[in-house]
Chain A
């Protein structure tokens, strides 16, 4: 009835990673549970992603990563800190080896969803982030 508050998520692929299928699948199931997804597609720089997050006033940023470009994800975190966006959780999904995943979590990524994560687990996590 009332438009009410909706969860708004930014989904993007960063750097020279061109694997968009995962990001699009995640975007569509997030839409299917009633979320609004700002989808940026591929070849985005950390600056473009952070600026879009500001302009769109999103609740969560989700990065799909399949090309070992973890440094780029780190740069997103740095920019988020610089822009005082630390209240927005950054979540990642894709083929990220355990060692790199641990490093990213230490650096400030809130959660990493490895391949074969269920869509429910991703949806539930996002909802829990926003409720907090």
Chain B
């Protein structure tokens, strides 16, 4: 079963891949087994993260990038992430609208993802979805996210290159510092550059870089600031050229630097995976236990406080999951306390 799915995905079958991504999002049991088997077919695609505030034109830019990459004979996968409503849990995924002209192109696979998870699951499911498109043999995978949270920054970090999109007139450079995405940008694009103030935005960014450069450990690459009008297909070729330049620049790094970079990426990815898995398992375990409701009632009627309940639930349920694990956790805590 798993084998035939893997075979179809590696063969480029869109339906099988789409279905697997859906299962990843829905947390369907058994998906992990498929991902395990799929993993050895990954690692070939180049992952471009595109992030920026809502309305800066990310989807339009991505649409033009797809076009540019297709002209260069490359196949493209796109993961367009839109936010889940914190009120209803639903989402309107509208990024495709700007990319629908590629809909019938077999070399392009566009997929929308909603942020969904309440505890950082997005990073995990996006990474897995990247793996699926990678295994399909896509040359480039573009991940588009709204750059407003830790999750988005994490996704940017897990890409091979991160492009930050800004527009003229959207606050000064202090906003960029606050957003905390500044540090992860490898290329900056000022979109809608036909607007007034584009020059000022350029200068603001440039000043930021000059300040940042003094404290940056990053000597090997100075992030370029590009002007673009995605809607008019202006500045896209320059952007794709810079992407290639960066890609080549990475290849020129010393062997040690590459290894170091890879190690830290794997380290982060693995830690994320463990973290998500732990939270998911423990939360499921606790919330599905019959005591959970009783505890809630106790807090409700004031016989217990939430702090104590948290302690009790964790100590009781963790030991149920695995005694050995609890021991491990205790010793970890003890070590942590010593440090």
A: residues with CB less than 8 A from B are 1-6, 8, 27-28, 30-41, 44, 47-48, 51-52, 54-57
Given the known interface contacts A4-B27, A47-B104, A51-B103, the answer about A36 and B90 at a Cβ–Cβ threshold of 8 Å is yes
Complex Cα gap A47–B101 (Å)? 11
Identify 21 residue pairs between A and B in the complex whose beta-carbon atoms are under 8 Å apart, listed by A's number: A2-B283, A3-B116, A3-B117, A6-B116, A8-B22, A32-B88, A33-B88, A34-B90, A35-B90, A36-B84, A37-B90, A39-B94, A40-B96, A47-B103, A47-B104, A54-B18, A56-B93, A56-B111, A57-B15, A57-B21, A57-B22
Partner among B28, B84, B85, B112 whose Cβ is within 8 Å of the Cβ of A56: B112
Is B89 positioned at the interface, with any CB of A under 8 Å from its CB? yes
Tier of interface size on chain B: 35 or more
Residues of chain B from 90 to 118 with CB closer than 8 A to chain A in the complex: 90-94, 96-97, 100, 103-104, 109-112, 114, 116-118
Which residues of A lie under 8 Å from residue B89 when comparing CB positions? 6, 34
Would A51 and B93 count as touching, CB distance under 8 A?
no
The CB with the most chain B CB atoms within 10 A, among A1, A33, A34, A38, is that of A38
Taking CB atoms, residues of chain B closer than 8 Å to A35 are 90
Is B19 part of the binding interface, using a Cβ–Cβ cutoff of 8 Å?
yes
Contact of B14 with A3 in the complex, beta carbons under 8 Å: no
- Note all chain A residues with C-beta closer than 8 A to B21: 57
> Could you tell me the distance between the alpha carbons of A34 and B27 in the complex, rounded to whole angstroms?
17
CB-defined contacts of A1 to chain B, threshold 8 Å: 118, 283-284, 287
**What residues of chain B lie closer than 8 Å to A2, measured between beta carbons?**
27, 280, 283-284
Interface of A, secondary structure class, is mixed
**Distance between Cα atoms of A22 and B250 in the complex (Å):** 49
**Interface flag for B12 (CB, 8 Å):** no
Q: Does B25 contact A (CB under 8 A)?
A: yes
> How far, in Å, is B280 (CB) from chain A's closest CB?
7
Residues of B within 8 A of A38 (CB): 93, 96, 112
CB-CB nearest 7 A-B residue pairs: A31-B90, A57-B22, A57-B18, A34-B89, A5-B26, A48-B103, A34-B90
Q: Is B52 an interface residue (CB 8 A)?
A: no
Q: What residues of chain B lie closer than 8 Å to A39, measured between beta carbons?
A: 92-94, 96-97
Q: From residue B139, how far is it (CB to closest CB) to chain A in Å? A: 18
Least Cβ distance of B92 to chain A in Å? 5
Task: Check B15–A31 contact: CB distance below 8 A.
Answer: no
B121 at the interface (CB under 8 A from A): yes
Asked, given contacts A6-B89, A34-B88, whether A52 binds B22 with beta carbons under 8 Å apart, the answer is: no
Complex contacts, A56 vs chain B, CB 8 Å: 18, 93, 96, 111-112
A54 touches B27 (CB 8 A): no
Most chain B Cβ neighbours within 10 Å, of A6, A28, A44: A6
The CA-CA distance from A30 to B91 in the complex, in Å, is 8
A113 to B57, CA, bound (A): 35
**CB distance A41 to B14 under 8 Å?**
no
B55 to chain A, nearest CB (A): 16
Q: A6-B89, A36-B91 are in contact. Are A41 and B19 (CB under 8 A)?
A: no
Contact A55 B88 (CB under 8 A): no
**A48 touches which of B88, B104, B116, B284 (Cβ 8 Å):** B104
Name A53's closest neighbour in chain B (CB-CB): B18
Are B96's CB and A52's CB within 8 A? yes
Residues of B within 8 Å of A30, CB to CB, are 90
* Cα separation A76 to B213 with both chains bound (whole Å): 55
Chain B 267-314 residues near chain A, CB threshold 8 A: 280, 283-284, 287
**Contact mask B221-265 → A, CB, 8 Å, 1/0?**
000000000000000000000000000000000000000000000
